[in-house]
């Protein structure tokens, strides 16, 4: 198994079996595990004619790089590679106001996975990120995403500022989250076509990204800490947008 072909964790494996079973080549389960959550996965595998093999914990730990695989690992064909052309086709095809999440250089795969999970729950149409100096959809990110990475398009782009300019030309309002903003999340209009831009862990938005945004917003903070983890901040912003859009 190559690293790029491994999916592990109950949610991630179940999601790919539901959304794209043709990708799954084989399924490996922990010897002796027979609980109800695993039965759903085994049933999906049987329905789709996917072979299942039992394996020792030692073997599964080695394949997952000691990550918490929850006793299930799938070997799968690579998923669809989404590119910038797909993004514009998507925008042309949807009939509602686009809702996009942009991650400007999030490098921690756990944070990326958590952002993907929140994006799916909040109804985001696609997640956009720079190709360089950013986390990609690794097995760790996919597991943390709990299946969201199999259904929400993740679109790496070569030049983020240029992509944001193209989105603006298509009528999408680009709104960046930044601690120095004067406008707060709760006074910002997030209905209509919106791309919400979140900065990297620690550094926040890069200068060019910040300058490309139509406006900046901040999450009001009542305590002594000056910032939130990027995945937590992303969840707060996305669900305020969902509240307004509902």
Residue 81, exposed/middle/buried by CB under 10 A (0-12, 13-18, 19+)?
exposed
Residue pair 69/57 in contact (Cβ under 8 Å)? The answer is no
Distance separating alpha carbons of residues 219 and 199, to the nearest angstrom: 13
Q: Residue 67: CB partners within 8 Å, gap ≥ 6?
A: 8, 139, 140, 143
Taking residue 198's Cβ as centre, other Cβ atoms within 10 Å add up to 24
Sign of CA pseudo-dihedral 171, 136, 79, 13: negative
Question: Is 228 annotated to bind ligand?
Answer: yes
Residue pair 10/142 in contact (Cβ under 8 Å)? The answer is no
CA distance readout (Å), 125 to 77, 116, 143, 200 = 24, 11, 20, 21
Helix then strand then coil, in percent of the chain rounded to 5, is 40, 20, 35
Question: Is 219 annotated to bind ligand?
Answer: yes
Taking residue 65's Cβ as centre, other Cβ atoms within 10 Å add up to 13
Helix (H, G, I), strand (E, B) or coil at 25: strand
Question: Is 199 annotated to bind ligand?
Answer: yes
Residues at the annotated binding site for S-adenosyl-L-methionine?
A: 199, 219, 228
Q: Which residues define the annotated binding site?
A: 199, 219, 228
């Amino acid at each position: 198994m190559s690293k790029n072909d491994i999916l592990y964790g109950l949610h991630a494996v179940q999601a790919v079996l539901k959304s794209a079973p043709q990708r799954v080549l084989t399924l490996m389960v922990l010897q002796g595990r027979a609980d109800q959550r695993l039965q759903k996965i085994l049933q999906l595998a049987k329905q789709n004619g996917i072979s299942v093999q039992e394996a020792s914990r030692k073997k599964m730990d080695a394949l997952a790089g000691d990550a918490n695989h929850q006793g299930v690992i799938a070997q799968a064909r690579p998923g669809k590679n989404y590119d910038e052309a797909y993004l514009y086709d998507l925008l042309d095809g949807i009939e509602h106001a686009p809702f996009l999440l942009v991650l400007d250089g999030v490098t921690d795969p756990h944070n990326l996975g958590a952002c993907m999970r929140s994006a799916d729950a909040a109804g985001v149409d696609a997640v956009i990120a720079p190709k360089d100096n950013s986390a990609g959809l690794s097995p760790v990110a996919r597991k943390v995403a709990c299946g969201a990475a199999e259904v929400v398009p993740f679109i790496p782009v070569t030049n983020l500022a240029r992509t944001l300019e193209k989105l603006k030309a298509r009528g999408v309002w680009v709104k960046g989250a930044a601690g120095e903003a004067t406008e707060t999340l709760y006074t910002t209009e997030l209905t209509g076509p919106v791309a919400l831009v979140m900065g990297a862990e620690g550094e926040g938005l890069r200068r060019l990204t910040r300058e490309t945004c139509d406006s900046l917003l901040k999450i009001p903070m009542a305590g002594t800490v000056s910032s939130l983890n990027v995945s937590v901040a992303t969840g707060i912003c996305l669900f305020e947008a969902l509240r307004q859009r509902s």
